[in-house]
Structure 1
Amino acid sequence: MDFLYKNALVIALIAALGALGSAFIAQYVFDLWPCVLCLYQRWPYGAVILISLIGLLVGKNTGSGYFLLLCAVGFAATAAIGGFHVGVEQGWWEGTAECVGDTSKAISVQELKAQIMSAPVVRCDDIAWSLFGISMAGYNLIAAGTLAVFSLVAGVKSLRAS
């Protein structure tokens, strides 16, 4: 188990690269185009990649625990967005304004047309793909939540050891 914690930044980097890679493969290979919440879930992974790379370049002896704690925040952020997205998919609450086109404010036919044309192509409440009843947002919630806990524990353990 000590091996995992000593290489936690590498694990965080590989996991974030794998998550983003999976999202891009789903989009560009399998034509599963993302909604706006899907896109929001990608940004924290990019931050984790940057943080873990900087942590690896700076070196393990100069506070890798702090970098791991920052990775935990990034993973927790994407897990939270994923959890919100699952709620939107399940109809537990409504999504953001970017999730659906709001045509209630249109005064003229031209404004209505402009609002329809600017509406998202993919709605946030449509589940594009699921496995065992769990959507991609649900899997992101599970994976990122697990990685957040792992990074948090590894960061705390690293800080205590130094």
Structure 2
Amino acid sequence: MSIASDKDTLAGQMMAVSAIVFGAALLTILAAHAFEQFGGYAPCPLCLQERYAYYFGVLAAVIAFFAARSETFGFARLVLVLIAIGFLINAGLGVYHAGAEWKWWPGPDTCAGGFDLIWGSDGIVDTPVIRCDEAPWHFLGLSFAGWNAVVSAALALVALFGATRRA
């Protein structure tokens, strides 16, 4: 196999990994916003923190894609490693959050949030308090936080796979 085709193969693999991370991270963050906007599920402060990795991952995956396309493989690898680290940390945060929901350990003392304040006609705030230690939704036994841990771990592995590709 020639060096040119090795570079093309490597570029293709790294671009594919970047595209997968981009698509999955974007889809996940859009789903989170859809649950919030259309499903009425207000995020708690930990939920909002868990979104940071997705915002970073979407942008960084674009950067890694174009770095691989221009055959700047060292830089593409670095960006993919940073994506993997971000999603591994986020998976840990998701496990912590899910554990607090299952009452395996206490959540943060200051974990309450919700929608913007809504004043009732009697002048009393009528806004739900969203707690980090109460899961409002489950699917296949996992809450939003649990699914975040699963998706984040998977995205970390995909990014790490891309970072380890060699010509």
TM-score (norm 2): 0.77
User: What is the percent sequence identity of the aligned residues?
Assistant: 33
1:5-46 deviations in Å (ceiling 9; x for gaps)? 540011111111011101000000100111111001001111
Question: Which one of the candidate residues 80, 97, 111 is aligned to 2:109?
Answer: 97
Matched, 1:150 2:158: yes
* Unaligned ranges ≥5, structure 2: 1-9, 114-124
Number of aligned positions between the proteins: 142
Q: Which residue does the alignment assign to 1:112?
A: none
1:84-132 deviations in Å (ceiling 9; x for gaps)? 101100111111132159xxxxxxxxxxxxxxx8xx8200111111012
TM-score (norm 1): 0.79
Tell me, what secondary structure is at the counterpart of 1:134?
coil
Matched, 1:27 2:36: yes
Q: 2:72 corresponds to which letter in structure 1?
A: T
Question: Which one of the candidate residues 8, 15, 21 is aligned to 2:24?
Answer: 15
Q: 2:62 and 2:35 mapped to 1: Cα distance?
A: 25
Give the deviation of 1:4 after TM superposition. 5.8
Counterparts of residues 1-162 of structure 1 (less than 5 Å): 6-60=15-69, 61-63=71-73, 64-100=76-112, 121-157=129-165, 160-161=166-167
Q: 1:27 and 1:33 mapped to 2: Cα distance?
A: 5
Q: Is the 8 A contact 2:88 2:156 kept in 1?
A: yes
Q: 2:20 and 2:110 mapped to 1: Cα distance?
A: 33
Tell me, what secondary structure is at the counterpart of 2:164?
helix
Consecutive aligned runs of 4 or more in structure 1 exceeding 4 Å deviation: 2-6
1:38-65 deviations in Å (ceiling 9; x for gaps)? 0010011111112112222334310222
Q: 1:128 corresponds to which letter in structure 2?
A: P
Tell me, what secondary structure is at the counterpart of 2:39?
coil
Q: 1:16 and 1:65 mapped to 2: Cα distance?
A: 18
Q: Which residue does the alignment assign to 2:121?
A: none
Q: 2:153 corresponds to which letter in structure 1?
A: G
Q: Which has the higher helix share?
A: 1
Q: Report the aligned-residue RMSD.
A: 2.2
Which range moved further: 59-68 or 75-84? 59-68
